């Protein structure tokens, strides 16, 4: 048996090539499928099956293009309201894969139509692909398909799937989930690439909640903010995405063409670093830096699915990368890109050091400090009198920010704060500064004649 894991940073998506003899299958393929085909061919295998654990919300899958290029059969739950040709998988169905046997298990909970795939070698259970039902040290959230079924009802099904179907497998069976640390499909997923049934029974926080009523209560509590693009991606995955190879090669835009695209409804995303963006950018553009693996996720938080997008890029290589990153979440409507040297009219956002911020906070008329970190980050440490609005909430809370008063925006490092500052500027906030280095540097840097303890609260003192 061969088993290879493929991991997409940022989305924290894991997919797999598994096979034996001359036959292979792909589990939960990503949008770009070339490496599956190449790796199978290098191993002397033909991809004959594609196993979808469920219609994913956080990324767009390339299963349709993979099936087209390989003639592999697509296995998706009979409960999924799909519109593409597939084998309607049911609980207990078995698929031969070389000398392996793959048993299809209906394991609803994360979604109503979730499947897990149990792989046996010579009759012995070896591996189970659990999709978003069970992660390493975590479980899938039950609220991402709330238009199909109530989260509490899905949480109840998750309990049954977990305790009656997965954790009853032999202790040594290896668990391979569809996501790792950083995914918004869970709460606190481990970075470990796989686990075992025994390890999850012993260490997974959800596996310790054996009371069914309490389990359901915990599953629907304290869930992370859901990016708006999740519903958009489910729709794409229920239909099957267009081939990635069908996307057009992006063309360079002139300043006039970029301006016209903005007038026609395109969102301009400047993919450069915060200092470069701050020094001069297209008025109204959003600074979502390509240097972070979270690039596509933040675009998905702030830009509605299907909206036309134009890039400002630092290099030609960034064009290809940005297009692929957004294609992975189904944002295919890219109208072109602009070299920053071609920007005609510029806006600026001053970059403020943490020492200068400390100095300003001692002034008679200090700036308003907006902290866009997560609630947990805020609770651990924050600046006195700062206002907390987590970045995902900011688009709906813009009215809380004074448009004519000075605002210094801070996050953990300066990345999210630059996104927030660009959003505020595009919505009419006039006097903005982005705090470089963020709270990490604010807490650690020794600024002359400043007293950090006077400005920072910790833990329960913040509540």
pLDDT tens digit sequence for 56-85: 999 999 999 999 999 999 999 999 999 999
DSSP string, 247-309: SPPP-B--HHHHHHHHHTTPEEEE-S-HHHHHHSB-TT-EE--TTSTTHHHHHHHHS-TT--E
Q: Distance (Å, rounded) from C-alpha 193 to C-alpha 175?
A: 9
Are β-strands 195-196 and 267-270 bridged in parallel, bridged antiparallel, or unpaired?
unpaired
Q: String of b and e for 159-179 (b: at least 16 CB within 10 Å)?
A: bebbbebbbebeeebbbbbbb
Domain boundaries, the chain: 2-236, 247-342, 351-462
Distance CA 143, CA 123 (A): 36
Q: Report CA dihedral (226, 232, 234, 235) to the nearest 10 degrees.
A: 160
Tell me, yes or no, if the two domains 247-342 and 351-462 fold the same way: yes
Q: Backbone phi, then psi, for 362, in 5-degree steps?
A: -90, -5
- The sign of the torsion formed by the CA atoms of 294, 297, 301, 306 equals positive
The closest of 220, 140, 222, 225 to 186, measured between CA atoms, is: 140
* Cβ pair 383, 410 in contact under 8 A: yes
**Whole-angstrom distance, CA of residue 79 vs CA of residue 108:** 10
Phi, psi of 421 (to 5 degrees): -65, -40
Residue 229, helix vs strand vs coil: helix
pLDDT tens digit sequence for 156-213: 999 999 999 999 999 999 999 999 999 999 998 999 999 999 999 999 999 999 999 9
- Superfamily of domain 2-236, CATH level 4: Ribonuclease Z/Hydroxyacylglutathione hydrolase-like (3.60.15.10)
What backbone torsions phi and psi does residue 419 show, to the nearest 5 degrees?
-60, -50
Which helix (H) or strand (E) is 15 found in, with range?
A: strand 13-20
Q: What is the CATH number of domain 247-342?
A: 3.40.250.10
Cα–Cα distance between 85 and 75 in angstroms, integer? 10
CA 389 to chain centre: 20
For 92-139, give the DSSP string. Answer: T-EEEETTEEEEEEE--SSSTT-EEEEEEETTEEEEEEEETTEETTEE
Distance (Å, rounded) from C-alpha 148 to C-alpha 220? 16
What b-and-e string marks burial along 132-147, b requiring 16 or more CB atoms within 10 Å of the CB?
bbbbbbbbbbbbbbee
Going residue by residue through the chain, which has 463 residues, state the pLDDT in tens, using 9 for 90 and above.
999 999 999 999 999 999 999 999 999 999 999 999 999 999 999 999 999 999 999 999 999 999 999 999 999 999 999 999 999 999 999 999 999 999 999 999 999 999 999 999 999 999 999 999 999 999 999 999 998 999 999 999 999 999 999 999 999 999 999 999 999 999 989 999 999 999 999 999 999 999 999 999 999 998 888 999 999 999 999 999 999 999 999 999 999 999 999 999 999 999 999 999 999 999 999 999 999 999 999 999 999 999 999 999 999 999 999 999 999 999 999 999 999 999 988 999 999 999 999 999 988 899 999 999 999 999 999 999 999 999 999 999 999 999 999 999 999 999 999 999 999 999 999 999 999 999 999 999 988 765 444 444 444 333 3
Assigned fold of 351-462: Oxidized Rhodanese; domain 1 (3.40.250)
Cα 48 to its chain centre, rounded Å, is 29
């Amino acid at each position: 048996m061969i088993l290879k894991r493929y991991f997409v940073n940022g989305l924290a998506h894991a997919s797999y090539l598994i096979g034996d003899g001359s036959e292979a299958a792909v589990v939960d393929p990503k949008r770009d499928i070339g490496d599956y085909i190449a790796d199978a061919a290098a191993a002397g295998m033909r991809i004959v099956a594609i196993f979808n654990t469920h219609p994913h919300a956080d990324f767009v899958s390339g299963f349709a293009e993979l099936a087209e290029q390989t003639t592999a059969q697509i296995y998706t739950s009979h409960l999924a309201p799909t519109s593409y040709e597939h084998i309607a998988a049911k609980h207990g169905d078995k698929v031969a894969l070389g000398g392996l046997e793959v048993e299809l298990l209906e394991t609803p909970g994360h979604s109503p139509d979730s499947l897990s795939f149990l792989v046996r070698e010579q009759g012995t259970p070896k591996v189970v692909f659990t999709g978003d039902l069970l992660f390493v040290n975590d479980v899938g959230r039950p609220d991402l398909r709330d238009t199909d079924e109530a989260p509490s009802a899905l949480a109840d099904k998750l309990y049954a799937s977990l305790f009656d179907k997965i954790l009853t497998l032999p202790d040594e069976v290896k668990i391979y989930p569809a996501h790792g640390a950083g995914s918004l499909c869970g709460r606190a997923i481990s970075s470990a690439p796989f686990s075992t049934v025994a390890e999850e029974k012993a260490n997974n926080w959800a596996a310790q909640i054996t009371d069914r009523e309490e389990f359901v209560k915990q599953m629907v509590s304290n869930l992370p903010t859901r990016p708006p693009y999740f519903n958009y991606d489910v729709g794409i995955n229920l239909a099957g995405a267009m081939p990635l190879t069908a996307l057009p090669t992006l063309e360079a835009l002139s300043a006039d063409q970029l301006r016209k695209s903005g007038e026609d409804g395109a969102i301009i995303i400047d993919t450069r670093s915060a200092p470069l963006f701050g020094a001069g950018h297209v008025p109204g553009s959003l600074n979502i830096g390509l240097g972070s693996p979270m690039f596509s996720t933040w675009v998905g938080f702030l830009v509605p699915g299907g909206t036309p997008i134009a890039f400002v890029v630092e290099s030609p290589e960034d064009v290809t990368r940005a297009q692929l990153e957004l294609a992975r979440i189904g944002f295919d409507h890219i109208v072109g890109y602009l070299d920053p040297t071609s920007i005609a009219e510029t806006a600026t956002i001053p970059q403020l050091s943490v020492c200068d911020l400390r100095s300003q906070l001692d002034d008679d008329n200090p700036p308003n400090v907006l902290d866009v970190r997560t609630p947990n980050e805020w609770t651990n440490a924050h600046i006195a009198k700062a206002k907390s609005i987590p970045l995902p909430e900011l688009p709906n809370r813009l009215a809380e920010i004074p448009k004519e008063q000075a605002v210094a925006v801070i996050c953990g490092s300066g990345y999210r704060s630059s996104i927030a500052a660009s959003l505020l500027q595009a919505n009419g906030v006039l006097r903005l500064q982005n705090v470089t280095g963020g709270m990490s540097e604010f807490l650690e840097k020794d600024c002359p004649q400043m007293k950090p303890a006077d400005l920072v609260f910790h833990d329960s003192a913040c509540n």
